[in-house]
Amino acid sequence: MTDLLITGYHGYGNCGDEATLLAIKEGVEKMNLDVRITALSYDPKFTEKEYDIKAVRKFDPFRVFFALLKSKVVLSGGGTLLQDVTSTRSLLYYLGIIRAAKLMGKKVMIYANGIGPVTKEKNRKRICKVVNKADVITLREDLSLNDLISMGVTKPPTYVTADPAFNLRPESEKRALDILSFEGVPMDKPIIGVCIREWKKAKYGDDFIREMAIACDGLIRGGNTVLFIPMQYKEDIEISKKVRDHMEEDCFILSRSYKPKEVMAVIGRMKLILGMRLHSLIFGSVMNVPMLGIIYDPKVEYYLRILKMKAVCDIRTERLTGAEIIKLSENLMAKYDEYKKLLEETTKPLITKAKKNDKLLKELIKKT
């Protein structure tokens, strides 16, 4: 029996991070090895019930210590854990887990991570010192590889793969229809899924909310239904409501926290995704639903480029306008079949790359 400890942003209701944990769990199960999974979680009861694995409260130092002690392999990932935009405290937490694991003689894998942004020189040095001790690193984009190299991380074998969520498959189409029916979403018109998040660092602030409302009104008047799909419950519901309150037309908002595969199935019923959250774009690509992206972070910019899908704007530096969203949506619809074919072609290699995460993890487990 090999005890595998997974650390990440689990138990917070973030659909993307929950999708990552689910993909890791399913990947481990397919290895046909005797592995027992424990995850560090903000809400251990939720994680245990949701994934049928053991979970430990991530901020309980004694339980975390004993979980580390018991483990043979520690997996740090996925998601963007090593960054200081959220806070230095968060970065120190995840580096602390890696450092403690290596001091205890454990195998450590940095699994499908996005790295950065890391803005403080002191934090860049901390990452270099700790991450150089890992046994293997996989990264979900080239940008992260460049960041690590610039910080001086050169010792562990390092591979650019893809986000683990590319390996997930959705719930049934019937389940998607049941959810849409429960939420009262009519299905007699094309449905445009809108996945946005609060971002206080947007250069033009509240203009973002007002212009999103203008865009959604325009899309509805163009003969579509607009459905807001929260990817982090309940934070994304609140920003969706703010946009709705500025709208003149009627729209819909998913009112419950749904499981990653359920959200993926719902996205599969969309005609178009207007996405800000990374995993709304990943789910859209897996379900072959063309998309327009709103960039707030390098990871979103990267995947839009790799998928060859259009960005509406970069709200870190540009003003988002409803008129531009409507224009780009109309352009996409005019060449809809071309975009679907292009998305299918660009997604296939990412699914293959995502599988490499588990291949490398399996090799590491076998070494214990």
CATH assignment at residue 266: 3.40.50.2000
291 and 143 in a common domain: no
User: Is residue 165 in a domain?
Assistant: no
User: Is residue 325 in a domain?
Assistant: yes
What predicted TM-score, i.e. pTM, was given to this entire model? 0.94
pLDDT in tens, 170-210: 999 999 999 999 999 999 999 999 999 999 888 888 889 99
User: Is residue 354 in a domain?
Assistant: no
Q: Which residue has the tokens 């973002």?
A: 208
CA distance 283 to 289: 8
Separation in Å, CA 337 to CA 113, 193, 305, 343: 33, 18, 19, 10
CA distance 140 to 159: 9
User: Is residue 293 in a domain?
Assistant: yes
Q: Where are the beta strands (DSSP E) in the chain?
A: 2-7, 35-41, 54-57, 73-82, 107-115, 136-139, 158-160, 191-195, 225-228, 252-253, 272-275, 291-295, 310-314
pLDDT of residue 78: 80
241 and 314 in a common domain: yes
pLDDT of residue 323: 96
Of 160, 186, 210, which residue constitutes the final position of a domain?
160
Residue 350: partners with Cβ closer than 8 Å, 6 or more residues away: 162, 163, 166, 285, 306, 307
pLDDT of residue 213: 97
How would you class 346 by CB atoms within 10 Å of its CB: exposed for 0-12, middle for 13-18, buried for 19 or more?
middle
> Hey, which residues does 110 pair with through a beta bridge?
76, 137
Q: What is the DSSP letter of 166?
A: G
User: Is residue 65 in a domain?
Assistant: yes
pLDDT of residue 85: 83
Q: What are phi and psi of 249, to 5 degrees?
A: -95, 165
User: Is residue 166 in a domain?
Assistant: no
pLDDT of residue 116: 86
193 and 112 in a common domain: no
182 and 150 in a common domain: no
pLDDT of residue 79: 85
151 and 191 in a common domain: no
Tokens of 234: 């309940």
193 and 148 in a common domain: no
Of 160, 195, 215, which residue constitutes the final position of a domain?
160
pLDDT of residue 86: 80
pLDDT of residue 98: 97
CA distance 76 to 97: 8
190 and 325 in a common domain: yes
Please give the tally of structural domains in the chain.
2
Q: Are 75 and 24 in contact (CB under 8 A)?
A: yes
User: Is residue 75 in a domain?
Assistant: yes
Spans in the chain with pLDDT lower than 50: none
User: Is residue 152 in a domain?
Assistant: yes
146 and 200 in a common domain: no
Of 160, 181, 203, which residue constitutes the final position of a domain?
160
339: helix, strand or coil = helix
185 and 114 in a common domain: no
155 and 106 in a common domain: yes
221 and 152 in a common domain: no
Q: What is the dihedral of CA 270, 274, 277, 281, to 10 degrees?
A: 60
Q: Are 19 and 26 in contact (CB under 8 A)?
A: no
pLDDT of residue 306: 95
178 and 150 in a common domain: no
DSSP string, 222-236: TT-EEEE--SBTTHH
Q: Are 287 and 264 in contact (CB under 8 A)?
A: yes
Range of the domain at 262: 173-349
